Chains A and B, each alone.
Chain A
Amino acid sequence: MSIAMPSLKVETGSKASSLALFVAFAVLALGLAAPFLVSRSTVQDLFFILTMLVLAQSWNLLAGYAGLISVGQQVFVGFGAYAMFGAVILLGVDPLPAILIAGVLSMLLAIPTAFFTFRLYGPYFAIGTWVVAEVVRLLFAQWKALGGGTGTSLPREAVRDMAGVSLLRDLFGMKPAEASDAITYWLALILAAATIGFIYRLLRSKQGLGLAAVRDNEQAARAVGVDARRMKALVYLATAFLTGLAGALIYVQKARISPDAAFSVTDWTAYVIFIVVIGGIGTIEGPILGVVLFFLLQNLMADYGSWYLLMLGLSGILVMLFAPRGLWGAFSDRTGIQLFPVRRKLTGGPSIHQGGFHG
């Protein structure tokens, strides 16, 4: 005799998420057209928002999903930027392929740094990553060919003759500076969309479930066969790649580098941490909300200097104490709305309990 089993199905989608997907593509399409619609300074603002978004999503994947809290991600921003500068200045590579080279080199750098920092647990991992970032900063300050401690600039013609600039000039009559801004902006848009797409797909995959299991209970996850160390190492490498790409891209646009700026813990890690924490750590929506808030606040409080950072620090503390899942987390808990649903829901069974797994 057989017992009739109700057909169970695991789902992750929702109505809001299909709408969100549609809106996401519409925003992406609008974003691609932005250099033709808005002023050059707005394009630069959007570039800043998008690159910070990439850094924030990467840190969120690392800390919020893999439980690796790093305060040393500036090492990949700075290293990526320097790798790009090195490829352009010393090897004469075009800036665009140099960005890709920088991303790959950053990922390679992550192998030896992981070798050291993965020996440290939890909070000690955090400071360990910081020490590694300091070591790399001090080493680059010694590299005289790239300006040593005072830094150097990208050659003017390297950016002016960057791939695509002449095409844009011929097609749309853009000035070289305008065209290079448009190109870096498009790359930032593509990178941001690809980062979010990658994280979303990763979290919905089998590996993503393993990652969530490791974060929630490492021992239990290991007991059911999740290779926690391997998962964490892979996430660390992936975020190093993304962060290195973003760093190189940011510095193509800045065109001027120094070790102190490129390895700045405030610019590339503190801001990023506050964006993620205030927006909502452990959600894909959180960093998006966080980066928009961060940009608005920065513009509103531009004249207040260090008061601004002080307030940012206080907000971070308050959010961590009273709404640990950030503004988006609080909103999502209340309304149940998820734009990028990564939780698995069990449907089709007897409708007693529909909680399902929380991932």
Chain B
Amino acid sequence: MNMLDTIVQGVLLGGLYALFAAGLSLVFGIMRLVNLAHGDLIVLAAFLLLVLVSTLGLNPFLAALIVAPVMFALGYALQEVLFNRTLGKDVLPPLLVTFGLSIVIQNGLLEGFSADSRRISAGPLETASMGLGPVTVGLMPLMALLSAVAVVVGLNLLIYRTALGRAFRATSDDTVTAGLMGIRPRKIFAVATGLAMVVVTIAALYLGTRANFDPTAGPARLIYAFEAVIIGGLGSLWGTLAGGVILGVAQTVGASINPEWQILSGHLAFLAVLLIKPRGLFPRAVD
């Protein structure tokens, strides 16, 4: 009974991790770019939400509707100005540029918002819960999981059913040939990163309302996102969702044994998967 509750909470937490990871997975799938600033961008979006919620008194969901296009524009611009210049055979430039960006965002936020922990207020929703059979679940964590499922379904529809998605897949498979067919890979990449930032905004909404965050919270989010992607297997968004859930369950089970082991047991689950199935549980991509 208690164990069941722990696992359900873990699955819900996994929804949040899948939201962290979906954007990373999307960008990697399309342009093989690993953005080391991904976690910091989530925290940046959370601070943008915080500003709107605390100064204008907006509902956080409404604020997310305003922040999402801003983040899309930021992602588009980052890709156009920075990341596109680093893409190539060498893995060093994109890694170092995004690592530099991560440091810039962290310290920019530290200057702007100080090192204090913050939280986005979601009103009565914060504490609302509902019975789900034998267990009781928080409404916000449940919505995070449902949002993660919706994001995965939405991105899959976009990738496999639309013209834009066809362009994504074509560019991913063969950039040069896609270029010959009239696709402009740089624009496609910029749109993909913009979309990833929209997902990042959704992740930030649930991160900010669920727990405290501060300007240095980014790297840990990046690591969870990365672990979810690797556990699930590269190139599969459903795999990423499963990876997030496995990570979440490993963390809550670890925490139920000893609260200090929460993060550690998540990492150990990741290492165990890496040991047994180095390419993840549901690999699709060849590289």
A contacts, CB < 8 Å to B: 63, 67, 69, 71, 116, 119-124, 126-128, 130-132, 134-135, 138-139, 141-142, 265-266, 270, 273-274, 277, 281, 305-307, 309-310, 312-314, 316-317, 320-321, 324
Contacts and interface: CB of A to CB of B under 8 A. Distances in A.
B104 A122 contact: no
Contact of B95 (A69, A139, A142, A305): A69
A176 to B, nearest CB: 37
A132 B264 CA distance: 10
A313 B93 contact: no
A317 B98 CA distance: 8
A50 B260 CA distance: 37
A313 B37 CA distance: 12
B270 A131 contact: yes
Interface residues of B, number: 41
Interface in B20-50: 33-34, 36
Nearest to A310: B107
A127 B36 contact: yes
A317 B101 contact: yes
Given A281-B92, A310-B104, A321-B86, A273 B99 contact: yes
B91 interface: yes
B223 interface: yes
Contact of B99 (A134, A270, A309): A270
Given A135-B271, A273-B96, A126 B107 contact: no
Contacts of B107: 306-307, 309-310, 313
B255 to A, nearest CB: 13
Given A127-B222, A139-B264, A313 B95 contact: no
Nearest to A317: B100
B143 interface: no
A316 B271 contact: no
Contacts of B108: 306, 310
Contact of A130 (B85, B93, B94, B223): B223
Task: List the 10 shortest-distance A-B pairs measured between CB atoms, nearest first.
Answer: A123-B34, A313-B103, A306-B107, A316-B100, A313-B104, A310-B107, A317-B100, A122-B91, A119-B278, A306-B110
A320 B82 CA distance: 10
A345 B38 CA distance: 44
B260 A265 contact: no
